[in-house]
Amino acid sequence: MTTLNKKDVKSPDKFLRELRMGFQWTTQHSKMVAGVVLLCLIVAGGVATKSYLDQKKEAQLQAQYFPLEKAFLDKKAALTEGKTEKATGDLEKDYGSTPADLMKIVEQAPGSKAGKMAALQVAEVSIQYKKLDQANKALSLADTKSNDLLSAMVLAQLGTLQADDNKCKEAVATWEKIINNSSVKFLHGEIRLKQALCYENLNETTKAEQLYSQVKEEEKESPVGQSANKYLKLLQAKKVN
């Protein structure tokens, strides 16, 4: 069917003729049109079904996770307060099977919210008990491709673990994924400060100074900005000396 210009639309005869041709084409190709419509409905239905199944699976995973989280937090509170129990320094003795059960959720569904929350809990207690390999495994298993807050939290902790292990290049790359996530801008100042500290540790002082200055300007009224200003002055003093 040809395209009508403004002049054609003002001409009733030609407009009706083109309209009739379009109607005839649709009638003659009704099976194809119906097939396209049906395909669209199937695709839409498939998306809706997948979304429903994803939500159902997430709900099931969180139903597994939250009782474990409660057991973990209750045990943590008891050990911290020391009124009823005292920490032995042995993770399995103090927390039983809870960390291992949480790890199973990470392994089962690394991209789920439950999986990421479980990874953070396992990492926290593993770091506390100096089981850094276990902490790294939990955080590395979690799927952080989605731009959500939980993914950013996992990446932030993983980067800190890498930096503490003197793997600053890896840490900077890990944290850069958070910087590229525009939905968590409120974390960017703190993450850039961490990157700057790593660059300084790598003797890449120019990059460190640039990041300190950026955080200082963007986070003027916050503790992060004040820390950046302090580290910037210290770095500049070193360069003078």
Which band of pLDDT confidence, cut at 50, 70 and 90, is reported for residue 49? Answer: low
State the amino acid at position 54 in one-letter form. Answer: D
Q: Is residue 105 part of a domain?
A: yes
Q: Is residue 153 part of a domain?
A: no
Task: Give the helix/strand (H/E) hosting 144.
Answer: none
Domain final residue, candidates 143, 160, 188:
143
Q: What is the mean pLDDT of residues 210-223?
A: 94
Q: 227 and 185: one domain?
A: yes
* More confident call, 18 vs 198: 198
Q: Is pLDDT at 20 greater than 90 in this prediction?
A: no
Q: Is pLDDT at 44 greater than 70 in this prediction?
A: no
Percent share of the chain, pLDDT over 70:
76
Q: 232 and 191: one domain?
A: yes
**Tokens 């673990």 map to which residue?**
161
Q: Is residue 114 part of a domain?
A: yes
Q: 121 and 174: one domain?
A: no
Domain carrying residue 104? 61-79+87-143
Q: 138 and 181: one domain?
A: no
Q: 174 and 131: one domain?
A: no
Domain final residue, candidates 143, 159, 189:
143
Cα-based torsion angle of the residue sequence 120, 107, 182, 216 in order, rounded to the nearest 10 degrees: 30
Q: Is residue 228 part of a domain?
A: yes
Q: Is residue 55 part of a domain?
A: no
Q: Is residue 34 part of a domain?
A: no
pTM of the model: 0.75
* Calpha distance 43→132 (Å, rounded): 45
Q: Is pLDDT at 144 greater than 80 in this prediction?
A: yes
pLDDT given for residue 190 in this prediction: 95
Q: Is residue 27 part of a domain?
A: no
If you average pLDDT over every residue of the chain, what do you get? 83
Reduced to 3 states (helix: H, G, I; strand: E, B; else coil), residue 85 is coil
Q: 177 and 139: one domain?
A: no
Which band of pLDDT confidence, cut at 50, 70 and 90, is reported for residue 216? Answer: very high
What pLDDT digit, counting tens, does each position of 60-99 carry? 988 999 999 999 999 988 888 876 778 899 999 999 999 9
Q: Is residue 39 part of a domain?
A: no
Q: 194 and 126: one domain?
A: no
The tally of CA atoms less than 13 A away on the side-chain side of residue 23 is: 6
Total domains, the chain? 2
Q: 178 and 121: one domain?
A: no
Q: 122 and 72: one domain?
A: yes
* Calpha distance 125→13 (Å, rounded): 80
Q: 66 and 139: one domain?
A: yes
* Calpha distance 25→40 (Å, rounded): 20
Q: 131 and 201: one domain?
A: no
pLDDT given for residue 239 in this prediction: 76
Q: 191 and 136: one domain?
A: no
* More confident call, 223 vs 4: 223
pLDDT given for residue 48 in this prediction: 54
Domain final residue, candidates 102, 128, 143:
143
